[in-house]
Amino acid sequence: MLNASLRQLSRLLSDKKISSTELTAGFLSRIKSLNPDLNAFITLDEEKSLNQAKSADAMIAAGQSTPLTGIPIAQKDIFCAKGWLTTCGSRMLSNFISPYDATVVERFDQAGMVNLGKTNMDEFAMGSSNETSYYGPVKNPWDRLAVPGGSSGGSACAVAARLAPAATGSDTGGSIRQPAALCGISGIKPTYGLVSRYGMIAFASSLDQGGPMAKSAEDLALLLNAMVGFDERDSTSLQREKEDYTKNLTQPVEGLRIGLPKEFFAEGMSSDVSRAVEAALAEYRKLGATFVEISLPNSKLAVPVYYVLAPAEASSNLSRFDGVRYGYRAAQYSNLEDLYARTRAEGFGEEVKRRILIGTYVLSHGYYDAYYLQAQKLRRLIAEDFAKAFEQCDLIMGPTTPTVAFNIGEKCGDPIQMYLSDIYTSAASLAGLPGMSIPVGFGDKNRPTGLHIIGNYFREAQMLNVAHRYQLATNWHELAPPDSGN
């Protein structure tokens, strides 16, 4: 049951071989057993989850179910859920009970899915290791000495450890794809604007995008069918015709042109990751794909560009957390200005404060033109590189991360090394392109690694098809951590 795909679970539920209540209770029991060590979940509410499961069972009995009805899902704690504690991994929101649902949560509720709980994450999605969370680091279920990646590390851990069959994540510069790779699962960041950001607590508004995390590409396709759609409450939401991402999953990939950026296969990628990625590319060659060497000359600037633009937007978005309206408030203060200062100093963690300071600096008078404006110009050049590349190929592939998961605490004292974890993922985010990671094997210390697939705008269906064909030929996505109690 723990290794069942979403389609298999859906069939079992519709055939009445198991009820949603039984399935949900089983996962809640597993979470109680393993979460104290893994720390993947921040908030659980067994009563709410089981009530949702009972409603799902009633939908199934009445013949009103969807392919996802009755299936449990974990929600990253960046998505507001009505009546649930929604913390964003921060002390600043440690007492915030959301009065409304994010659109993503709302759509899964409408599909009849069951919210298992809210998963741990880097504070306000700022981090690559899930170590900046106010609630402590999440452990990688493949090796509890290692990080799970971030910022969606709790969601990635929950799926990998079989605490949940699926989870939501958010991706600003790689925060779905990087933890998916480090935990050996599949995850996709859709084209910017496809998934509503309403109710997803903002980090960097021009980059943030919600997406699903699950075992396989087929599972991701089912989840995307529910997540994607226009939302008038989100000004960045795109209005386009509804698409069925499961429709063409099994199409052959003969003749597919895969672009290999020479910049992604240069110095910086560890030898163990390189071997796994090369083996995956060899599998695609067997499936009939062809390879084209391409160049993304400005991709080397993606990390510095990202760490100018994202903090600038964060400094603006996080200005609302002042201790006046909701969230944490300092216990002692002498006047209104002191309330603001003390609340923000006590409520935010070190990484968040670092990024607020950087963002405020690059937006300040005298530095806006030198930093922020230049970064926006480079962002355009990065997007143009991708446009030229897609004239030569259908999809782009490479490593998701330069190394396998590093040890907890290993990079905490060196923010620059931590930021370089997103070296292969941040360029696609800056361009607003869809990207996904699928598991392709193991590297040093038997820690997972992933293959990064980048598509042109709105090519999610093609990416999922290509990933699914690989997963039909291999079994990396089926493997579970040996000590996960599976």
Residues catalogued as catalytic: 76, 151, 175
Cα gap 369→308, rounded to integer Å: 12
Round the CA-based radius of gyration of the chain to a whole number and report it: 21
β 114-119/72-76 pair status: parallel
Residue with tokens 């598509």: 455
Cβ(132)–Cβ(122) below 8 Å:
yes
Count Cα atoms within 13 angstroms, Cβ side, for 362. 25
Cβ(397)–Cβ(293) below 8 Å:
no
452: which strand partners?
Answer: 398, 437
Distances (CA, A) of 436 to 70, 296, 378, 433: 26, 18, 23, 10
DSSP string of 387-445, one letter each residue: HHHTTT-SEEEEESSSSSPPBTTSSTT-HHHHHGGGTTTHHHHHHT--EEEEEEEE-GG
Distances (CA, A) of 124 to 136, 342, 432: 14, 19, 20
Residue 81 DSSP SS3: coil
Residue with tokens 């391409």: 294
Cis peptide before 151 (omega within 30 of 0): yes
β 41-43/166-171 pair status: unpaired
Residue 130, class by beta-carbon neighbours within 10 Å (0-12 exposed, 13-18 middle, 19+ buried)?
buried
Stated length of the chain: 486
Distances (CA, A) of 357 to 129, 151, 244, 280: 21, 20, 43, 41
β 257-261/395-399 pair status: parallel
Distances (CA, A) of 259 to 87, 264, 339: 40, 11, 53
- Look up residue 190 and give its DSSP letter: P
